[in-house]
Structure 1
Amino acid sequence: MISAIANNIFQRAIEDYHRYDNIDHPMENPYDSQSLEHLLYLKCWIDTVQWHMEDFVRNPDIAPEDGLSWKRRIDKQNQVRTDTVEYIDSYYLQQFHDVNAKEHARINTESPAWAIDRLSILALKIYHMEQETKRTDVGQAHIASCQSKLTILLEQRKDLSQSIDELLTDIASGDKYMKVYKQMKMYNDPSLNPVLYGKKQ
């Protein structure tokens, strides 16, 4: 099942990142560049870097100019994240290219890759919530609260993993079909964002 593979890869990517815990440390993807595994590792590495960017930019003592610089960097990172999700969907579109959808086949509320995107983010929540349960500088109330949240996150991962596996099975059998829409984000496009194209007038 793809969810088990993805969850293992996400865990590896997160642990690899935290061996250095450095936003700028170069990624060393251990998987073949043409494989789905490569895309999954890349996806989670991008998410992990962005997670720590988001933490950093929330420092209340950050200088305004530094905060703006980080915000722009996060925007760029988020675009790379979106592009990678679309690469994963392209992989599945190719995989299911020859599947004939049944007459009453249904479309899912989200594509496989966007569901996998949520699974990657969930892996990060689980990792960091588990770290909170191991802190020695907080009281038992904090530990108990984080342990309770961790239990819920683990259940959520189980349910989401099952849903992803079922979705891919349904697409493979023709009971559901894939239809992918590009994100077409407007605020990053200098021809669509009025603030950006207005500067040229």
Structure 2
Amino acid sequence: MYTEQYNQIFDQCIADYHVHNSVHQPIHNPYEKTAFEHLLYLKNWIDTVQWHLEDIIRDPLIDPVKALEIKRWIDRSNQERTDVVEYIDGYFLDKHKDTVTTADAAINTESPAWAIDRLSILALKIYHMREEATRVDATPEHREACQRKLDILLEQRQDLGTAITQLLEDIAAGRKYMKVYKQMKMYNDPALNPVLYKGK
């Protein structure tokens, strides 16, 4: 199953991050830059750092200047996340460029990479919900409630993994085909965001 390997890489990345547990620590991607695994690790690292930035910015006592700095960081992170998703889809497009599709081949509602993006976020939810379900300073009620949520998240990961695997098998067999639309985000583009181009 493809996604068993993906989940292993995501879990490894999250564990690596939490060795120092700092948004400022540099990434040490253990995979060769040309390897598909490198993209998966990078994708999850971006998600993991952003997860913690989202926690930091919700501090009600955060300095407003610091909050703006974090918000700009999150904006950059979102763009990096989108870029890596498109690289992952590029990998699948190239891998299956010579696949002959069947006459009744269909397109999927989302590309493989955007489904993998959800799998990466799910790995983070599972890690942090497991922390809450085993937190020794929390009440038994809190731990029990979090354990129930964790069970659902684990079931969700199983279901999503099955769906991704089926999609990749269908693409490889020509039963489905890929069509990727680049994220045409306008707010980062000085030629498309009115606030930016009117301020010139």
The interval holding the TM-score normalised by the smaller chain is: over 0.9
Note the residue ranges of structure 1 that are not aligned, 5 or more in a row.
none
Instruction: Determine helix, strand or coil for the equivalent of 1:41.
Output: helix
Tell me the residue number matched to 2:52. Answer: 52
Question: What are the within-5 Å matches in structure 2 for residues 1-201 of structure 1?
Answer: 1-200=1-200
Letter paired with 2:137 = D
Deviation at 1:24, TM superposition (A): 1.1
Deviation at 1:48, TM superposition (A): 0.2
Letter paired with 2:59 = N
Q: Deviations over 1:112-169 (max 9, x none)?
A: 0000000000000000000001112221111011000000000000000000000000
Letter paired with 2:119 = L
Instruction: Determine helix, strand or coil for the equivalent of 1:199.
Output: coil
- Taking structure 2 as the reference length, the TM-score comes to 0.99
Letter paired with 1:170 = D
Letter paired with 2:50 = Q
Deviation at 1:10, TM superposition (A): 0.2
Please give the alpha-carbon distance, in whole angstroms, between the structure 1 residues aligned to 2:93 and 2:87.
10
Please give the alpha-carbon distance, in whole angstroms, between the structure 1 residues aligned to 2:197 and 2:63.
28
Please give the alpha-carbon distance, in whole angstroms, between the structure 2 residues aligned to 1:69 and 1:37.
31
Please give the alpha-carbon distance, in whole angstroms, between the structure 2 residues aligned to 1:196 and 1:64.
22
Identity of aligned residues (%): 60
Instruction: Determine helix, strand or coil for the equivalent of 1:145.
Output: helix
Please give the alpha-carbon distance, in whole angstroms, between the structure 1 residues aligned to 2:154 and 2:141.
20
Aligned length: 200
Computed over aligned residues only, the root mean square deviation of the Cα atoms, in angstroms, reads: 0.6
Letter paired with 2:180 = V
Please give the alpha-carbon distance, in whole angstroms, between the structure 1 residues aligned to 2:84 and 2:148.
32
Instruction: Determine helix, strand or coil for the equivalent of 1:19.
Output: helix
Instruction: Determine helix, strand or coil for the equivalent of 2:20.
Output: coil
Write out the 4+ residue segments of structure 1 that deviate beyond 2 Å after TM superposition: none
